[in-house]
Amino acid sequence: MGKLSDYLELIRIKNCITASFGGVIGYLISSNFEIDIFKIVLVYLVVFFICAYGNVINDIFDIEIDKINKPFRPLPSGKISLKEAKFFSFLLLFTGLFLSIFINIYALIIAIINSIFLYLYGKRYKKYKPIGNFLVGYLTGSVFLFGGVAGKNIYPVVILFLCSLFSIWGREIIKDFEDMEGDLKEGVISLPIMYKKRSLIIASFLIVIAIMLSPLPYIFGIFGISYLVLITLCDVLFIWTIIILLKNPTKKTASKVSKLLKIIMNMVLIAFLVGAVLNV
C-alpha cells in the first residue's frame, strides 16, 4: 500500500487546496462576508474531495501514457496499485457527495454534475479539446458557483462563474495554440490543430463575452462604483491582451498572453471580493 505522501501526490493536494479556497470565496461573496464556519468548512471539504476524485480518475486513465512521460507518479511507479487508486477514487467521490447533502440540494446537484464531467474529461475529452476546453472552463468556474449556492445572494457568483467559464475557455484555446506541436504528436484534437490561427479569433470572442458580462453586478445594483472601477481596469487589460494576440498570432505571443490572462483573471476575482466587501 502507498504511503500518505503518495496519496497526497496522487490527488495533487496543492490543486485541491486552491480549488477549495475558490469555493470558500464564492460562499463569502454570496453571503456578503457573513461568516458561518460550518458552511465554510463544508464547502471547503466538498470541493477538496471532488477535486481530489477528479485528479485520481485522471491519473487512472493516464496510467499507460504516464509510464512513459511521468514514470515517477504514484500509479506508474507502482507506489499505489490501480486497484487501490480505484477504491480511493470511490471513497473520495462518496465522501464529497455525502458532505454536499448537508449544504443543500443545489450543492449536491453541482457536486454530481462536476463528478460526471471530471470522469468524462479524464476518460474521453482530455484528448478531444473542443469539448475538453469547455469542461475545464466550466469546472474551474463552478467552484465559485458551488460556494455561492451555500450563501444568500447567488447572482454575483453566477456572473463570476460565467466570466470565469468564458475567459478560461478562451485561455485554454490559446494554450492549445502554444502546444500544437506536442498535441499533434500525442494524437490530441484541438481547435488550433483544426483551424490554426483562426482558433485565436474564437478564443478572443469567448473572452469578449466575459468582458461583456463583467459590468452586470454594477448595472443590476449588486455592487457599487468601487467594483465598476476595478472591473473596468480588468476589461481594458483583457482587450489589450486580445489585441496583442491577434496582431501577432505566434506561439511566443500565445505563451505571453496566456500568462497575462491568468494574472488578469486573479484581478477579476479581487474586483468581485472588493465589490462584495464594500458594496459601494
**Cell 454530481 sits on residue:** 112
Query: In sequence order, what are the beta bridge partners of 128?
Result: 189
pLDDT confidence of residue 260: 96
pLDDT confidence of residue 184: 84
pLDDT confidence of residue 129: 93
CB 167 within 8 A of CB 206: yes
Give the distance, in angstroms, between the CA of residue 25 and the centroid of all CA atoms in the same chain. 14
CA dihedral 249, 253, 258, 264 (to 10 degrees): -100
Nearest Cα residue to 197 out of 174, 166, 181: 174
pTM: 0.92
Q: What is the pLDDT along the chain (280 residues), one digit of tens a residue?
A: 568 889 999 999 999 999 999 999 999 999 888 889 999 999 999 999 999 999 999 999 988 887 877 888 899 888 999 999 999 999 999 999 999 999 999 999 999 999 999 999 999 998 899 999 999 999 999 999 999 999 988 999 999 999 999 999 999 999 999 888 888 888 889 999 999 999 999 999 999 999 999 999 999 998 999 999 999 999 999 999 999 999 999 999 999 999 999 999 999 999 999 998 887 5
pLDDT confidence of residue 2: 61
pLDDT confidence of residue 1: 54
Give the distance, in angstroms, between the CA of residue 224 and the centroid of all CA atoms in the same chain. 27
3-state secondary structure of 128: strand
pLDDT confidence of residue 100: 97
* H or E element that contains 39: helix 37-61
How far is it, in rounded angstroms, from Cα 209 to Cα 212? 5
pLDDT confidence of residue 186: 80
Nearest Cα residue to 33 out of 145, 149, 152, 146: 152
How far is it, in rounded angstroms, from Cα 95 to Cα 88? 11
